[in-house]
Structure 1
Amino acid sequence: MQAVIAPPAVPVGKIKSFGPFGPKYEVGRALRQLDDGDWMIEVTMIETGEKAEYRWTHLTDDPEAY
Structure 2
Amino acid sequence: MQLLNKLIPQLSVLADEDLIDRIEECREQLDIAEQDELFVRQYGATLSQLEPIANSLQSDPEHYEELKMN
Give the TM-score, by structure 2 length: 0.18
Higher RCO (C-alpha under 8 Å, 6+ residues apart) = 1
Give the TM-score, by structure 1 length: 0.18
> Higher strand proportion, which one?
1
Structure (1 or 2) with the larger CA radius of gyration: 2
